Amino acid sequence: MSLQLQAGSVTFENVTKNYGAVTAIDDVSFSIEPGHLVTLLGPSGCGKTTTLRMIAGLEHASSGRILIGGKDVTSLPATDRDVSMVFQSYALFPHMTVGENVAYGLSVSGLKTSEATERAEEGLALVGLAGYASRLPSELSGGQQQRVAVARALVLEPEVLLLDEPLSNLDAKLRRKVREEIRDLQQNLGLTAVYVTHDQEEALAVSDRIIVMNRSVIAQEGTPRELYEAPASAFIADFIGDANLVTGEVINITQETAKIRIENVEYDLPSRGMGNGTTQIAVRPDSILLEPASTNQIGIKGNITHSTYLGNQIHYSVDSPLGELFVVDYRIENAIKAGSDISMTFATRGMALIAP
C-alpha cells in the first residue's frame, strides 16, 4: 500500500464552544502528538463529539485556537482541512457504490477518474475489502460498511483521522475484532487518530493516551495505565474501571509512600504528593477480599446484602462501616450467601489515594 501519510499533531489552546446559552466545551487545552491514537472518553453529553467536530471543522470554536500539524486552522472550514472523519452512522453515500464512495474524496479534489478508482481499490484492499468495489453500501454487513468508511477516510492520506464512536453500531462480538483492526491499521500506517468513545474498556484497549472529559472540561489526561493506577479524582477512579471510595487517615508520610489507616487496618500506598490528614482512597472491586467473619478476625467487618452469580465471577454488595461497597470475586467455589457476616481485607495493588 502506497499511502503517503504525513501524520500531523493536533493542538487545542483554550478552546470554548457555546451553543447559545449552553457551553459544550469550556476552555479546553490539549495537545496530541503525531502518530498517536488518542481517545476522548467521557459520559454522554460531556462534549466529546463537539471536540471532534471542531477538529474536523464542522463546528467552529467560539474562542481559542486550534492547530493541526502546527498550522492555525481555527477559521478554516471542513472542506479545506486535511482531516478525515469516520462517522458514527458511517454516512456512506447510499446512491454510490462502495468503490465510488471510497473514490469520492479523491475525485472531488480533482484526481482523474482512473487514478481515483485505482487508489480506491488499494484503500479497499487495505481494509480487507478488495473486490467489493461494485457493491452498494446496503449490500454489506455493518462491519463491512464500517471498514468502507475507514477506507474512504484513509485514501485521502489525512494528517489526522477522526473516529466518532466507530463501534457503537456493531454487535458486541464484532467490537473487539474491529477495534483491534483499527488499532493495527493506525499503528502500521503511523496515523494520528482521535477516537471518541464512552466505553472505558474500549478506550483502555486501543489508546496511546486517553483524554477523559466531564461536563465540558478535561478531567484527566494520560496513558491508560496512569489513569487506572493514579486517578486524579473520584470521577476518574469510578469512570475508569469502577472503584469504591472509602475514607481513611494518613498517619505517616515519606517521599514515596504514605502510611494510611482505614478503620483499624494500615496500608502502605504511593504517596502521590498527598499531605497528612483525612483522605479518600479508591479501592477496585476485585481488590477486596471477603472471608467469612469466623475465619478472619483482623479485617473490616461487614454484611453481604446482595450476591449475584455471573458465571466466571460473583458480584457482592457489602454493608460496612465504610458504607455500601461493591465487590467482584472470581473465586466462584467460595461463594458466600447473602445475609452472611464477613470480614474484608484490601489488596494494595488495587488502591489509590485521591486528592481531596
Partner 1 sequence: MRTSFFPWLIMGWIGFAILPWYALEDGFWAFEWLIDGYPFDSDYAPALLQIFQDKEWLLPLLFPLLFPLCVFNRVKSDPKYASTLVISGGFGLAYILGQGFSVGISGWEFSTLESLFGPLETRQFGMGYGALLTSGAFLILLTTGLAAAGNLRGDVFVTSAIGIVVALVATFVFLPVGKILVSAFINDEGLYALSTFTNNFFTKKIWGIDCLSTSVSCGVGLNSFFLAILTATSTTLLGLGFALVATRTDFRWKKSLRVLTILPIITPPFVIGLALILLLGRSGTITQFVADLLNIEAGRWLYGLPGIWLAQTLSFTPIAFLVLIGVVEGVSPSMEEASQTLGASRWHTFKQVSLPLMRPGIANAFLIGFIESMADFGNPMVLGGNYDVLSTEIFFAIVGAQNDQSMAAVLAITLLMFTLSAFFAQRIWLGKKSYTTVAGKADSGIHAGMNPLLRRICMCVTIPWALFTIVIYGTVLFGGFVVNWGRNNSFTLQHYAEGFGIGWSEGNLVWEGAAWDSFWTTITISAIAAPLTAALGLLTAYLLVRQKFGGKNIFEFGTMLSFAIPGTVIGVSYILAFNVPPFELTGTAAILVLCFMFRNMPVGVRGGIAAMSQLDKSLDEASLTLGANSFTTLRKVILPLLRPAIVAALVYSFVRAITSVSAVIFLVSADHNMATSYIIGLVENGEYGIAIAYSSVLIFVMLSAILIVQKVIGERKLRRTNRLTSQSDTTKSSTNSAPMEKQA
Q: Looking at this protein, which amino acid is placed at residue 159? A: E
Q: How far does the chain reach from its first CA to its final CA, in angstroms?
A: 52
Span 216-235, contacts to ligand ADP by CB under 6 A = none
String of DSSP letters for 51-67: HHHHHHTSS--SEEEEE
All 3 cell numbers of residue 162?
Answer: 477522526
The residue within the footprint of partner 1, chosen from 24, 40, 46, 56 (CB under 8 A), is 56
- Go through the chain and tell me how many residues it has: 356
SS3 334: helix
SS3 88: coil
3 binds, among Mg ion, ligand ADP, partner 1, none (CB under 5 to 8 A by kind): none
Q: What residues form DSSP beta bridges with 84?
A: 161
24 binds, among Mg ion, ligand ADP, partner 1, none (CB under 5 to 8 A by kind): ligand ADP
Asked if 139 touches partner 1 (CB under 8 A), the answer is yes
| Rounded Cα gap, residues 225 and 256, in angstroms | 19
The residue within the footprint of ligand ADP, chosen from 50, 101, 117, 343 (CB under 6 A), is 50
Which string of x and - marks every residue 161-180 that binds ligand ADP (by CB under 6 A)? --------------------
What minimum distance in Å lies between the beta carbon of 106 and partner 1?
9
Stretch that binds Mg ion, among 44-52, 70-78, 302-310, 337-345 (CB under 5 A): 44-52
SS3 188: helix
Tell me whether residue 81 or residue 209 sits nearer to partner 1 (CB atom): 81
Tell me whether residue 48 or residue 175 sits nearer to ligand ADP (CB atom): 48
Q: What residues form DSSP beta bridges with 19?
A: 22
50 binds, among ligand ADP, partner 1, Mg ion, none (CB under 5 to 8 A by kind): ligand ADP
What minimum distance in Å lies between the beta carbon of 27 and partner 1?
22
Strand order in the sheet with 37-41: 83-86, 160-164, 192-197, 37-41, 209-214, 217-222
Task: Note the helical H segments in the chain.
Answer: 48-56, 98-108, 113-126, 142-154, 172-189, 200-206, 224-229, 234-239
Asked if 60 touches partner 1 (CB under 8 A), the answer is yes
String of DSSP letters for 321-332: TTEEEEEEE--G
Which string of x and - marks every residue 48-87 that binds Mg ion (by CB under 5 A)? -x--------------------------------------
Asked if 91 touches partner 1 (CB under 8 A), the answer is yes
184 binds, among partner 1, Mg ion, ligand ADP, none (CB under 5 to 8 A by kind): none
Task: Note the helical H segments in 310-353.
Answer: none
What minimum distance in Å lies between the beta carbon of 60 and ligand ADP?
12
Stretch that binds partner 1, among 115-123, 137-145, 178-186, 326-334 (CB under 8 A): 137-145
Neighbours of 275 (CB within 10 A): 11
Give the CA count within 13 Å in the CB-facing half-sphere of 304. Answer: 24
Tell me whether residue 101 or residue 214 sits nearer to ligand ADP (CB atom): 214
Strands 63-68, 244-253: pairing is unpaired
Q: Given the rule CB under 6 A, which residues bind ligand ADP?
A: 19, 22, 24, 42, 44-50
Q: Given the rule CB under 5 A, which residues bind Mg ion?
A: 49
Q: Given the rule CB under 8 A, which residues bind partner 1?
A: 56-58, 60, 75, 77-81, 83-85, 87-89, 91-95, 104-105, 108-109, 136-139, 152-153, 156, 162
